[in-house]
Amino acid sequence: MSSLGTSFVQIKFDDLQFFENCGGGSFGSVYRAKWISQDKEVAVKKLLKIEKEAEILSVLSHRNIIQFYGVILEPPNYGIVTEYASLGSLYDYINSNRSEEMDMDHIMTWATDVAKGMHYLHMEAPVKVIHRDLKSRNVVIAGDGVLKICDFGASRFHNHTTHMSLVGTFPWMAPEVIQSLPVSETCDTYSYGVVLWEMLTREVPFKGLEGLQVAWLVVEKNERLTIPSSCPRSFAELLHQCWEADAKKRPSFKQIISILESMSNDTSLPDQCNSFLHNKAEWRCEIEATLERLKKLERDLSFKEQELKERERRLRMWEQKLTEQSSVPLLPSFEIGAWTEDDVYFWLQQVVRKGKWNNLPSEFMELTLRTTLQGKRLLFLEEEDKDMGIVSKGHIIHLK
C-alpha cells in the first residue's frame, strides 16, 4: 500500500462524515459523505482493498467523467473519494416520474454527454480505457444536469489486455463480453446503445428476464431489445448499428457524436421524437409482446432441456443395463471341452441372466469354482456328481 500512498492523494478516514448509502457500485458500496477539511460534498466507495479503479480514475479528467479526489488507505478502511452527483443515477431518473419531462433536446444533450465521455476514454485519455460496464446505473447526473460516467471497477487499460473476463451486467453487455472473448472498445458502443434505448423508451432492458436468460438470447438467438415501430428512423438506425453482432461494424464514439450532431440539424426530428415520447401507451405493447415472446422461448428451452435430460437419464439407464449384461467376458471358444473352470462359471452366469435356468441353486455357482469344474468335466456329469450338490442336470439341455 505504500506505493499507492505516494501515487494518490490520501484522505483521512476521520476527515469524512458519512451519510446515507446511495447505491452499490462494482465491488463496493457508495455513500454520500462530507469531506470535512475541504467543506465539500463527496461520494465514497468503500472497498476491501484499493485496486485498478483508483489507478484508472487518477489519470482521467473530463467534464463527463466523475472527478477523482483521492483514496482512503487506513486498514481496514479503504475507499475511493470522488465528486458527488446530487441528482442520482440516470437509471433512477429514467424509472421515476421525472422522466416524463424528457423531450428530444433532453435526450440529445444527455446522449452527447455520454458519447463524449466515452470518446475521451477511448481516444483522448492518457491511456485508452475500456469501461466494460457502461449502463444507466453507472451514469450519474450532477447538480447542473450534466451526465458523468462513473464506476470503473470493471474497466481496464486497453494496452494491458484485450481479453476480458466476464464482468458487467447482462442486459447491457455485448455478446463478446458475455462469451469472455477478446474485445475492443466497441463493446462499450453496444452498451451505449442500450443506455440510449433506455432514454428513448424509459423502460428497463429485458425486464423480467434473468441475466443468464438474456445472455442466451443475445448470444445464441441474436435477440436484441425491441425498437418500437414508431421510433424515429435516425434513432432506430443508430441503435441497430450499436448492436451489431460483429464488433467491427459498430460505430466508434467519434462517429456516434457526428451522427448525433447531424440529427440535431434535422428540423423534422424534434416533432417526430416528441410525438414518440408522448405516445408511449401506443408502442409500449410492442416491447411487452417481445418480452412475452422471449419468455416463452426461454420456457420452451427449459422444457426441451428437461426433456433432453430425461432422455439422457433413460439412455444412461439403458447403457448401464447393457453394460451389466455384457460385463461377463465372452467365452474364448464354442469348444466346450476346452473351457476352464472360469469359463464354465461365466457360462453359468450368462445362462442365469438370460432366464434360461431360473431354478439353478446358488450353491452350484460356488461349487463350480471350488471343484474346478472344467468344460470337459461338465460334458460328462453323471449321477455320482450329486455328491457335490448338483440335484438337477438341466444344464445338459443348454449344451446341446
Cα separation of 49 and 75, whole Å?
9
Cis peptide before 76 (omega within 30 of 0): yes
Q: Are 19 and 33 in contact (CB under 8 A)?
A: yes
Catalytic residue list contains 133: yes
Cα separation of 112 and 296, whole Å?
37
Give the helix ranges, DSSP H, for 167-232.
Answer: 175-178, 186-201, 211-220
Q: Which is the catalytic residue, given 133, 151, 188, 343?
A: 133
Cα(first)–Cα(last) distance of the chain, in Å?
Answer: 88
Instruction: Sort strands 16-25 and 28-35 into parallel, antiparallel or unpaired.
Output: antiparallel
Type and span of the H or E element at 248: none
Exposure string of 214-246, with b = 16+ CB inside 10 Å and e = fewer, is bbbbbbeeebbbbbbeebbebbeebbebbbbee
- Specify the 3-state DSSP secondary structure of 208: coil
Number of residues that make up the chain: 400
Q: Are 58 and 8 in contact (CB under 8 A)?
A: yes
- Assigned C-alpha cell, 76: 481496514
Q: Are 28 and 15 in contact (CB under 8 A)?
A: no
- Assigned C-alpha cell, 208: 423480467
Q: What are phi and psi of 341, to 5 degrees?
A: -60, -35
Grid-cell match 414518440, residue found: 276
Task: Point out which residues pair with 30 in neighbouring strands.
Answer: 23, 45
The 3-class secondary structure across 51-69, one letter per residue, is CHHHHHHHCCCCCCECCEE
Cα separation of 269 and 232, whole Å?
7
User: Would you name the residues annotated as active-site residues?
Assistant: 133
